[in-house]
Amino acid sequence: MPDLLVEIGCEEIPARFTDGAMQYLSSEFQKRLKEQRIAFGEAQVFGTPRRLALILKDVATTQSDHEELLVGPPARIAFDADGKPTKAALGFAKKNGLNPEALQKGEVEGKKGEYLRCLVEHTGRPSHEVLPEVLTSLIANWPWGKSMRWGAMAETFVRPLRWLVFLLGKQVLPVTFAGIHSGSKSYGHRFLSEGSFEVDVENYSDQLRKHYVMVDATERRKLIEAGLASISEGTLRVREDKELVAEVSQLVEWPEPVVGTFDEAFLSIPDEVIVSAMRSHQRYFACENEKGLTNSFVTIAATKADDMELIRKGNEKVLVARLSDAKFFYDEDLKTGLQSMGETLSSVLYHKQLGTMGERVQRLGKLAKLVSQEIGGSDVVERAAAICKSDLSSKMVSEFPDLQGVMGRYYATVAGEPGQIAQGIEEHYLPRFAGDTLPTSDVGTALAVADRFDMVVGGFAGNLKPTGSADQFGLRRASIALLTLLAAKKSTLSVASTIDNALGLYREQGKFLDRDVSSEVFSFLTQRMNRVLGEQYRSDLISAVLSAGWDNVADVKARLSALSKFSTTAEFSSLAAGLKRVSNIVKGHDAGSVDQSIFSEAPEKSLWKAFSSVQNTVSDSVASQQYDVALAKLSELKEPIDQFFDKVLVMDKEESIRNNRLNMLANIRDAFGRIADFRQVNTEES
């Protein structure tokens, strides 16, 4: 069976799209071929800035035959009393091109009674007829984050198409999209290869390599890594940057590492500025030695020139311009000073509904002080809050937004602020994304927590809350960061009270006087807690603990840890099932006093006696957050609960007996309910 090659050639694809595009081409094409009943073997997917390609081995030349069951109207209306087809049956036959004599009646899965039915055999079409339909549809419906039109074309793609290769063996399959007709000719490197060449499916990668294209992204990445490693063999070391390696590997078709240098005078600029100028703007790799950052860099050229010195000098010239600007901005900021920068924040809009950055800083100072009383750093946190956003007015952050906080630390240090304040300014932006480092100082943590509370509460009050997949204000990310911080700090900070305090500070500034979003924000954070805890604990146990109520992260984690350990014991599943039954029976019934004198059954006396013997210990253990002790004691109720339900009718016809039993069970429910709502526990998984 022949191999299939798809190659889509276009203008340079943004590096951030390439990996996803390769995945889509491979998975979606294979999915559609399976739907079309075309068998195939191994798949290989390739991607470079100028092409996306897929090779499928051993593609069947025809679709497989298949049978289709056509179901018509119910038999009672499809045939008359004499068993002859009615108009309904004849219409069904005509619609589907069937001979009325082929119609039968019989049962159909999922339906009651007999229906008109016919089993139709379909002969598979040739693959060369089906495959063009598949590719045309796939390209037309490609889910690019951003796409474009070019020329007079109505069709869209991530970048203008330039060529299409579509081969089944040596046969060209006809596809036309955006005025481009498929063929058997591909193109090599934009500068190192001239014109087109005939593609051979079996030697695709080797052919392209001869035309200076490494079509395999993994091969390019490994070559780049090897080049960087060879440069690092001496005293010079290339800073490790896996993300940049991955990005650069999708920016070039023929990688060539080039080492450049810049004037050592620029090393007076903070290291982070130099690295940001090289990495974010130019995709250069920073170099260091045993003393730290050096005036060398590595760029991955996209071509091989006769004189690589020209490429080196060109990149050095571009970098010098960047660093000259950075040095100018840095020197100007030092002249201005952090205090003066902060004074301009009152004219910088944070959000039209949430006020200026100056107003935000005022809120952060007060909220951070309240937070710090539990987290720490209270003696200097107000000062840190007052200047934590000042660098947003700096020329440096305006040019290099990724350095907010970092430049604040430098400017605070130059201004003579204490080290813990300077550190807190930088750290209060952490974590910036999932898996990022967390603040190590109390000041940084308190500021970071206050910052996220202000953002989330303001977002909900200002009606900027997430909807569906949209989150214009980044509240999901902010809430995850907030809860991650509190979890890492093992914080007992009251979440509900802090929400109220944050909303109150907005109201002090005359904002949202008629809105109370406290419960909505708390519910939102509860949902986010599931994600924060989800990697460590079972989802049903998380739901059980959160459903029982929570107000601080440390208590949630303590209950979850104890419940998770308890869930591994032999008695847990049976006990949890019994507690579910208890909770369901007493749903809506408040715990009341229990009158032992009207107990009439031995199992209810035994259950109450067992509960009474552990009640005080459980209460004390819960109060001191010794939840493992509380659960161990409560587990002693397993047998009495089982015996009670086996022998006793709770809903006795006598009202006093019935209520007394309900009161007893409600007391048991409430004792367990201080730890978790066992109705949420999946006892089958336990």
Model confidence pLDDT, tens digit, residues 308-363: 999 999 999 999 999 999 999 999 999 999 999 999 999 999 999 999 999 999 99
Model confidence pLDDT, tens digit, residues 422-467: 999 999 999 998 889 999 999 999 999 999 999 999 999 999 999 8
The answer to whether residue 261 scores a pLDDT higher than 70 is yes
Q: How far apart are CA 68 and CA 102, in angstroms?
A: 14
Lowest mean pLDDT among 94-108, 161-175, 381-395: 94-108
Model confidence pLDDT, tens digit, residues 114-144: 888 887 777 889 999 999 999 999 999 999 9
Q: Using an 8 Å Cβ cutoff, are 38 and 60 in contact? A: yes
The mean pLDDT value for 658-669 works out to 94
SS3 130: helix
Model confidence pLDDT, tens digit, residues 522-532: 999 999 999 89
Average pLDDT, whole number, for the chain?
Answer: 93
The answer to whether residue 263 scores a pLDDT higher than 70 is yes
pLDDT for res 375: 86
pLDDT for res 108: 80
The answer to whether residue 26 scores a pLDDT higher than 50 is yes
The answer to whether residue 610 scores a pLDDT higher than 80 is yes
Work out whether strand 51-56 and strand 176-177 pair parallel, antiparallel, or are unpaired: unpaired
> In the Cβ-directed half-sphere of 473, how many Cα atoms lie within 13 Å?
22
Q: What share of the chain is helix, strand, coil (3-state, %, to 5)?
A: 55, 15, 30
| Amino acid identity for residue 385 in this structure | A
Higher per-residue pLDDT: 588 or 6: 6
Provide the angle, in degrees to the nearest 10, between the axes of the packed helices 217-231 and 242-249: 130
pLDDT for res 434: 85
The mean pLDDT value for 263-284 works out to 94
The answer to whether residue 101 scores a pLDDT higher than 80 is no
CA distances from 259 to 138, 300, 440 (A): 42, 9, 36
pLDDT for res 327: 95
The mean pLDDT value for 24-34 works out to 96
Residue 644: closest CA among 609, 680, 595: 609
Distance of CA 223 to the CA centre of its chain: 30
Higher per-residue pLDDT: 571 or 420: 420
* pTM recorded for the entire structure: 0.80
Q: Using an 8 Å Cβ cutoff, are 341 and 414 in contact? A: no
Model confidence pLDDT, tens digit, residues 464-482: 999 887 898 999 999 999 9
Q: How far apart are CA 367 and CA 365, in angstroms?
A: 6
pLDDT for res 379: 84
Q: How far apart are CA 210 and CA 439, in angstroms?
A: 51
Lowest mean pLDDT among 104-108, 258-262, 279-283, 547-551: 104-108
The mean pLDDT value for 47-54 works out to 96
The answer to whether residue 185 scores a pLDDT higher than 90 is yes
Residue 686: pLDDT band (50, 70, 90) is very low
CA distances from 218 to 46, 224, 257, 301 (A): 9, 10, 16, 17
* Percent of the chain whose pLDDT exceeds 70: 100
pLDDT for res 363: 97
pLDDT for res 88: 87
Q: How far apart are CA 437 and CA 294, in angstroms?
A: 25
Model confidence pLDDT, tens digit, residues 143-179: 998 999 998 888 999 999 999 999 999 999 999 999 9
* Percent of the chain whose pLDDT exceeds 90: 81
